[in-house]
Structure 1
Amino acid sequence: MKAIEVAAVAGVHLFESTPYADERGFFCRTFDADVVRSVGLDPDAFVQDSLSRSVRGVLRGLHLRSGAGEAKLVRCSYGRIFDVVVDLRPESPTYLSRGIFELSDDTQTTLYIPAGCAHGFQALSEIADVSYRIDRPHDPSEDVTIAYDDPELAIPWPLPVSSMSERDRQAPSLAEVLKNVLSHPIPSHNVPPHEES
């Protein structure tokens, strides 16, 4: 397993696995504390694991948490997803930038998303299972949602939306969330300087 820094959003990393395939299927490591530690993250900070299952075209997001925020590791354990991270940390050198990724069960790549970044995805396969590992127990009172089709973000979702939650459907614009919900920024820790490549 190796860690790759993502230039588009400061502090985001991809943890690439190496699946070993044979006639039985494959085997790969999906979490390695030493590799996580090598990029300055505390592997013991993650306290809760969750799993979502979506059918093709389902869109979940854009989600983040208020208060102390929430860092997470996201992996598509089955199927394929179009995944988006939006940097909402005002002190970050990549503030309001977005990163777009395709995660799939072929690679089992894990995406690290720092606290203060919004996250969403759309299922590209008939079934997509997404595993989440978060660094604070979930508190629904801190849930924040941003409109997936906000024109300021102009995210190129690849499929028509087949289904989404009512909360996501009614989500406010990015401007409204920045003004009314995130007017007290989520603290982010260890935001690295951004270097243009």
Structure 2
Amino acid sequence: MPHMSAPVIEKLDGTEIKVTTVVVTDIFGKTPALEELANAICKNHIIVDPYDGQNKMFHTESDAYEYFSSNIGLENYSKHLINSLTKLDSSVNLVGFSVGAAAIWNLSGSLGPSHINKAICFYGSQIRNNRKVVPLFPVTLVFPKTEKHFSVSQLISELHTTQRTKIRQVPYFHGFMNKCSTNFDLQGYESELRTLAANAI
């Protein structure tokens, strides 16, 4: 995993801390489109993906899903993310997409706030299978307008009282931030990108 220079944040007491933005990919892994997105959010970032940086060049989402499910799985991806984070000596902001968002959610109840500042998780549909998590750091969940396999509004209703958790629902579909997805939405992509960049996450 490459170590890139991290931005330095000066705290009120005059001390300086390094902050690294870690972008956690979906089932497509590290693609040129994902690298473009990561660069637009923050020049100083690290990408964590399920395939150790290899561009798998999946032709369709179903191909990517089948490969990820058969060869990796969410549990292993979550462990890989934890291992990647423990190698960092800086504070961390997390941005995750789909299974990447679910991996962040899975570890959020066990990795303390001393290491992670905050996280934003886009369309982490697998979060529905781990609803009892109580994050130890601030997490923003961004859900799509609808999902095929469950009620988004019901999940939001169940999670809305979870501590340190903010929830937004947007009028786009699962995958709207990924140019490789059939659900990519340019308006939603640009809107969320502006929000991410403005928050220097």
TM normalised by structure 2 equals: 0.29
Which structure has the highest helix share of the two? 2
Which structure has the highest strand share of the two? 1
TM normalised by structure 1 equals: 0.30
